A and B are shown apart, each in its own frame.
Chain A
Amino acid sequence: MENRISPFLISVLCIGIAILYIPILVLIGYSFNASALVSVWGGFSTHWYTELIHNDQILDAAWLSLKIGVAVSTGSVILGTLAAISLVRFKVFRGRLLLTGMVNAPLVMPEIITGITQLLLFVSMLNLLGWPHRGFTTIVIAHIAFCSAYVTITVQSRLASADRLLEEAAMDLGSGPVRAFIDTTLPGLAPALASSWLLSFTLSLDDLVISSFVSGPGASTLPMVIFSKVKLGVSPDVNALASLMICLVGVCVLIAGHLMRRAERRRVLDAQMAER
């Protein structure tokens, strides 16, 4: 399968990767620019990072976004995993097609439509039931709806390829179906669950459009603050903030990737040992 990749393929691959990375690298470079003028290089400085620590608006927004992110990713992993189990394990049930549709649609649905419809729901609910007030709660609810879809897709493919022999053996030995699933299949799912938790977290942390619609007065998430600053033009403290966020996410993803690879290797090794 390998060998002989044409120079054409290599060059397109390099161009594609360059397109993806150059802007990010340049941004990180600019964040260490001492000059407030973005076009002039005024020497190396961490001035904009210290500026960031004293910016209450950004710190508050970051704290709110982190709280939302943790709540959303935990909720999404639970709901998304249940949906994945439903779709993989129960081949026939009433509403299966509906669930499949509702799991796949958020992946392609333009955020602006999801945002508007969810806001209208929340406004009508508040009118009829007196709950929920727009802010933290509504953002979490709205984010879970689309993040759980990503969780389902990730867990679904892992679950579909999981070996059911062990689980059946556990049931033969007297475990109930839930117990058997928790003891045998769930540990194998752990890397997929961890990575989908992280994915939900970054998706939530990143969302601007849906948050802008469903948020209320006083609840500005980090992307909302960044967007309002960026709309006015390039600002050097956003450069610093962006670099921090990008590095944080990058490190998280690399760690997650490493953990998943190690888990995979161990699984393969175990399987080889078992065959002997």
Chain B
Amino acid sequence: MISAADAGAGAPRRAAAMDWFARRGKWLIILPPMLYLLVFFLIPFGFALSISFADTAVRVPPFTDILSVSPDWHIHLTLNLGNFKYLFTDEVYGLSYLYSLKTAFFSTVVCLLLGYPMAYGIARTSKSTQSILLLIIILPFWTSFLLRVYALEGIIRETGLLNTALLWLGVIDHPLQIMRTTFAVYLGIIYSYLPFMVLPLFATLEKLDHSLLEAAGDLGSPPWRAFLEVTLPLSMPGIIAGSMLVFIPAIGEFVIPTLLGGPDNLMIGRVLWDEFFGNRDWPVASAVAIAFLVLLVGPIALYQHYSTKQLEA
């Protein structure tokens, strides 16, 4: 039991404690995640940047230091710009980057064309159906990405279900070669990233004020026009957020082109992996990663802008 006297004595102390908490104590909450992400997420980019200016060396770790102190206490900063020059002279990097952009772009467009009607359909069902349909969409997202890509291989390989079914139906006389083609890479990306497109789209479409569409209809606008002029612009944040959630990771995709694509499906993720594990050229790999990151800053900023807007809405 707290007596009145205790409460009387405790109140100013408590007020002081709360005041302290409001001013300083919040840092106890902010600092742990802030420091963790700084050290283990942001600062690593600094290391990658510095190593992209180093030379390869036969030692552990396999690169030279860019900063060195000579015996007479001079600090030497050696920046090797050769790695970046190499990115421009060896055309495999430019080509694979362009190829990755193209692949990611068309996959995103297909995901959008497929995902938009799906999200729209889900948003227009009753609340209880909605939660079931959402669960159905989310469930594959929880199951292993690697295993889903592997599962797709079971469908599209030469002796897979698709070819067996088509042969049996007599649509084709000999099996289609889908595995190890560009088409398989597209299929893999669309299949793996579709939920990422549907969920943000659903989130905006669900909030859509239906009376606006009715108003447009009442004013004589045909449904397609009401859709183009009301629904589409209003769902723009969802379209951008969903597209970026598909587009950006798809550019750097490694598992899908490796497992489903052929030798000519050189996406930047694969080049980076080979540079690192195959050639063991860490400075060049770092330079590729940094250049790649610089090119991603635009799309990532766009995503950040729209996703925070969506969260605040």
Q: Is A68 an interface residue (CB 8 A)?
A: no
Stretch from B76-84, B90-98, B148-156, B232-240 forming part of the interface with A: B148-156
Q: Is B106 an interface residue (CB 8 A)?
A: no
Contact string, A17-60, partner B, CB cutoff 8 A, digits 1/0? 10111111011001000000011000000000000000000000
Q: Is B212 an interface residue (CB 8 A)?
A: no
CB A172 to nearest CB in B, in angstroms, measures 11
Q: What's the interface size class on A, roughly?
A: 35 or more
CB A201 to nearest CB in B, in angstroms, measures 10
The answer on a CB contact under 8 Å between B311 and A156 is yes
| Residue in B2, B142, B155, B286 whose CB lies within 8 Å of A199 | B142
Contact string, B268-312, partner A, CB cutoff 8 A, digits 1/0? 010011001000001001100100110010011001100110010
Q: Is B161 an interface residue (CB 8 A)?
A: yes
Stretch from A162-170, A184-192, A203-211, A266-274 forming part of the interface with B: A203-211
Q: Is the interface of B mostly helix, strand, loop or mixed?
A: helix
Contact string, B141-163, partner A, CB cutoff 8 A, digits 1/0? 01111111011111101011100
State whether A22 and B143 are in contact (beta carbons under 8 Å apart), knowing that A106-B41, A145-B41 are contacts in the complex: no
> Residues of B at under 8 Å CB distance from A?
2, 7, 10-11, 14, 17-18, 21-22, 25-27, 29-30, 32-34, 36-38, 40-45, 47-48, 51, 61, 114-115, 117-118, 120-122, 124-126, 131, 133, 135-140, 142-148, 150-155, 157, 159-161, 164, 190-191, 194-195, 198, 210, 244-245, 248-249, 251-255, 258-259, 269, 272-273, 276, 282, 285-286, 289, 292-293, 296, 299-300, 303-304, 307-308, 311
A-B residue pairs, 8 tightest by C-beta: A110-B252, A39-B159, A117-B44, A9-B121, A83-B33, A23-B151, A121-B44, A12-B117
Could you name 22 residue pairs across A and B whose Cβ atoms are closer than 8 Å?
A20-B191, A24-B140, A27-B147, A27-B150, A90-B26, A99-B30, A100-B308, A103-B37, A104-B307, A108-B300, A108-B303, A109-B248, A110-B269, A111-B249, A112-B269, A113-B292, A116-B285, A118-B41, A121-B44, A226-B147, A227-B146, A250-B143
